[in-house]
Amino acid sequence: MGFWQDKKILLTGGAGFLGSHIIALLLKKGVLIEDIKIPRSNETDLRKWENCVESVKGVDLVIHLAAKVGGIGFNQKNPASLFYDNLMMGVQILEAARQEGVPKCVMLGTVCAYPKFTKVPFHEDDIWDGYPEETNAPYGLAKKMLLVQSQSYREQYGYNSIFLLPVNLYGPRDNFNPESSHVIPALIRKFIEARDAGNKIVSVWGTGNASREFLFSEDAATAIVLATEHYNKSDPVNLGAGKEIKIKDLAEMIKAKTGFQGDIFWDTTRPDGQPRRSLDTSRAKREFGFEAQVSFEAGLEKTIEWFEKARIEGVIR
């Protein structure tokens, strides 16, 4: 048990996609479920200071995952709320944890914080070399301010806060809502629904030439737990698989794995988003021994299998 012995943990976003995988891993490590405090957004609005103060009481560790997120379309429709909500939740949780004397705070950033045109692979030192891609800049900048806060709190107060930069995540229990999902769950749903309806064409945003890197949710949970246990420095750390794939190739792969027999129409009136995304993951390996274990093909198959089952069981409608 070691590090986790008798720890009381505040896991914001614990009821969400990534949070569910972290909880599963913590339980395997011997943490008791009653020792994990999970504020629910419909009951505890972390944009309000008093709720943050109440949430950090009596805990030994904060892992801040809670975020308002979505794909390109969602980002275009909600730039103001994405900026405000993510900034206020993160800033106030970290300040409340510091005031309460919580020994350590783990803050989750985003690959969207990187400049639009960053040399590949993205290294943590590149994060201030330009402005983020326009469609997700408000979200990315809100998260990047938490890096500033984390580093300044360590410098002024000696406070132990760390900042992690995960790449795009995917896996079972992801968000498959067409209004707010990211690219992998969105494509899985589109192809399966088109297959079942007998449709001949699936429309996909952009040219397909942009690239992305993806990290399987279970690997992401492992990385966060390892960093929580072993990392105690100011420098941000990338969390990724170290590989990129073009959206065009991704779509063809999902098409094949879902059994869709029709054609793909590339809607070039829609944006591609950031041209390329791929992370240098050497710091995570060096500092706390993290390397992704699940191959992209295996992770994709697990995600598709989960979605198919969830639809049959009525978990997703």
pLDDT, tens digit, for every residue of 69-118? 988 899 999 999 999 999 999 999 999 999 999 999 999 999 999 999 99
Q: What pLDDT is recorded for position 317? A: 80
Cα–Cα distance between 194 and 199 in angstroms, integer?
Answer: 5
Per DSSP, the residues of 24-87 read HHHHHTT--GGGEE---TTT--TTSHHHHHHHTTT-SEEEE-------HHHHHH-HHHHHHHHH
Could you say which residues of the chain have pLDDT below 50? none
Within 8 A by CB and 6+ apart from 205, the residues are 72, 73, 267, 270, 271, 272
Going by CATH, does the domain composed of 2-170+213-243+276-293 fall within 3.40.50.720?
yes
Q: What pLDDT is recorded for position 169? A: 96
Say if residue 274 is exposed, middle or buried (CB neighbours under 10 Å; 0-12, 13-18, 19+). Answer: buried
Its pTM stands at 0.96
Q: Is 139 a catalytic residue?
A: yes
pLDDT single digits (tens) 213-247: 999 999 999 999 999 999 999 999 999 998 999 99
Q: What pLDDT is recorded for position 1? A: 66
Q: What pLDDT is recorded for position 91? A: 98
Q: One of 139, 153, 159, 170 is an active-site residue; which one? A: 139
Q: What pLDDT is recorded for position 268? A: 97
Q: What pLDDT is recorded for position 71? A: 87
Cα–Cα distance between 311 and 189 in angstroms, integer?
Answer: 10
